């Protein structure tokens, strides 16, 4: 019954938020109130501050670093800050920058695409020409999409291809690894042409054609798309279909694909990481982050070169909340404490269960958590916690879970 009541309250709050935000048209916050010198002096915040002071006095902080910020969006005031301006590695909370920028600049109707073109003529059931597979770095392109590609070729009325199967990889640069990635990690391949998340598109296409009794009689190749090529088939997937597993399951390939969509939105071909970084900085600027105390390396958080502050993440979360078109999609994509995603097994049977929607982050020595909390007074809080220098990540997770319980108690 408590969960049902909480869900009713959340629906009410979200509806009110969406209605009030329709009148807000400015991209930037009217005032920069998300700073560490506006601690609210109310009974409930004082009680919260006492609980958090107790948690942050743990001996683990004698030998590890903590960055923590809690901002009451409803009351427009900072509730707690410790090391909020410290520059730290975000791990997978970096995905918040990627997701919010994508929703901010690409929009909710954006679609990832992979296309098939052909050149030449059909002569006696033979295509004398080439097939061009144009990649758009769609991580959701799967076997059913490949079957549709092959079916569109068969619909030309052919059984033989006298020409090439060509990969068009001009969507992004040729780099298959991100800047600052560890060589021995389980890294995704940053290919523009993906099938089931793997970089073997042309060989899989050839196998599918053969299965459908269409026999390629030419070499595989990599080339640009000719201007006279004719579109044969295009498969697309919605941004929210990529966003949800990217955030719920912390899928790194999905995040990097989103990162390059952001970079490509400027029209640059090939899209580069530098283009995506510029776009993210633009959204951060709109969120009130105007200093240079951060570094963006990739879109997933795998890189050891990413550096942000808890204050930056909290400002960005606050900006997203105040933009209904962003928040509506972001909120449902975040893992829910005790319910799903990477928080499914955390905070069960505590005040934080269901009331915390947040992105987790884990790297060697780093444990992080950032997102939204519904407080006991039904205020919406934005928070960011980064534990750095923790050799056992469960130490960081345990501390974060206690903080979240305190926020919702």
- Tens digit of pLDDT for each residue in 281-335? 999 999 999 888 999 999 999 999 999 999 999 999 999 999 999 999 999 999 9
Output b/e per residue, 347-371; b: 16+ Cβ within 10 A. Answer: beebbbbbbbbbbbbbbebbbbbbb
Instruction: State the pLDDT at residue 183.
Output: 83
> Closest Cα to residue 319, out of 26, 79, 29?
29
Instruction: State the pLDDT at residue 43.
Output: 61
Q: What is the mean pLDDT of the chain?
A: 90
Residue 84, φ and ψ in degrees, nearest 5: -70, -20
Instruction: State the pLDDT at residue 229.
Output: 98
Sequence-ordered strand ranges (E) for 172-272: 215-216, 220-222, 230-238
Sequence-ordered strand ranges (E) for 214-288: 215-216, 220-222, 230-238
Instruction: State the pLDDT at residue 39.
Output: 43
- Tens digit of pLDDT for each residue in 345-372? 999 999 999 999 999 999 999 999 999 9
pLDDT of residue 24 exceeding 50: no
Burial class (CB in 10 A: 0-12, 13-18, 19+), 344: middle
Q: Which of 7-16, 136-145, 201-210, 393-402 has the lowest mean pLDDT?
A: 7-16
- Tens digit of pLDDT for each residue in 32-50? 455 544 444 446 677 899 9
pTM above 0.95, yes or no: no
pLDDT of residue 7 exceeding 50: no
> Token pair for residue 97?
């920058």
Instruction: State the pLDDT at residue 185.
Output: 80
3-state class of 233 per DSSP?
strand
Residue 274, φ and ψ in degrees, nearest 5: -65, -35
CA distance 59 to 240: 42
Burial class (CB in 10 A: 0-12, 13-18, 19+), 45: buried
Instruction: State the pLDDT at residue 15.
Output: 42
Give me the residue label for tokens 């009148």. Answer: 23
């Amino acid at each position: 019954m408590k969960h049902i009541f909480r869900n009713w309250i959340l629906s009410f709050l979200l509806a009110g938020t969406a209605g009030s935000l329709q009148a807000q048209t400015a991209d930037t916050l009217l005032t920069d109130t998300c700073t560490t010198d506006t601690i609210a002096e109310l009974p409930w915040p004082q009680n919260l501050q006492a609980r958090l002071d107790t948690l942050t006095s743990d001996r683990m902080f004698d030998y590890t670093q903590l960055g923590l910020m809690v901002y009451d969006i409803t009351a427009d005031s900072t509730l707690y800050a410790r090391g909020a301006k410290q520059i730290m590695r975000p791990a997978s909370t970096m995905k918040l920058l990627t997701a919010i920028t994508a929703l901010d600049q690409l929009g909710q109707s954006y679609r990832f695409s992979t296309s098939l073109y052909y050149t030449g003529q059909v002569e006696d059931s033979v295509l004398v020409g080439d097939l061009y597979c144009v990649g758009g770095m769609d991580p959701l392109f799967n076997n059913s999409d490949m079957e549709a590609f092959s079916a569109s070729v068969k619909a030309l009325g052919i059984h033989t291809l006298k020409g090439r199967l060509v990969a068009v990889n001009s969507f992004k640069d040729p780099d298959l690894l991100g800047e600052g990635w560890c060589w021995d990690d389980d890294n995704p391949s940053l290919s523009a042409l993906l099938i089931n998340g793997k970089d073997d598109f042309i060989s899989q296409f050839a196998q599918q054609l053969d299965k459908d009794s269409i026999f390629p009689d030419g070499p595989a190749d990599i080339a640009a798309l000719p201007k006279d090529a004719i579109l044969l088939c295009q498969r697309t997937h919605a941004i929210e279909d990529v966003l949800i597993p990217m955030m719920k399951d912390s899928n790194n390939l999905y995040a990097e694909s989103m990162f390059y969509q952001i970079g490509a939105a400027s029209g640059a071909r090939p899209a580069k990481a530098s283009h995506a970084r510029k776009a993210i900085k633009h959204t951060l600027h709109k969120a009130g982050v105007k200093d240079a105390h951060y570094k963006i390396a990739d879109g997933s958080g795998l890189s050891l070169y990413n550096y942000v502050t808890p204050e930056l993440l909290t400002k960005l979360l606050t900006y997203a909340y105040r933009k209904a078109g962003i928040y509506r999609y972001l909120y449902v994509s975040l893992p829910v404490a005790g319910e799903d995603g990477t928080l499914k097994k955390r905070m069960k049977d505590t005040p934080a269960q269901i009331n915390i929607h947040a992105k987790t982050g884990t790297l060697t020595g780093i444990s992080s958590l950032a997102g939204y909390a519904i407080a006991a007074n039904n205020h919406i809080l934005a928070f960011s916690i980064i534990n750095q220098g923790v050799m056992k990540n469960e130490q960081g997770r345990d501390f974060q879970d206690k903080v979240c319980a305190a926020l919702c108690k």
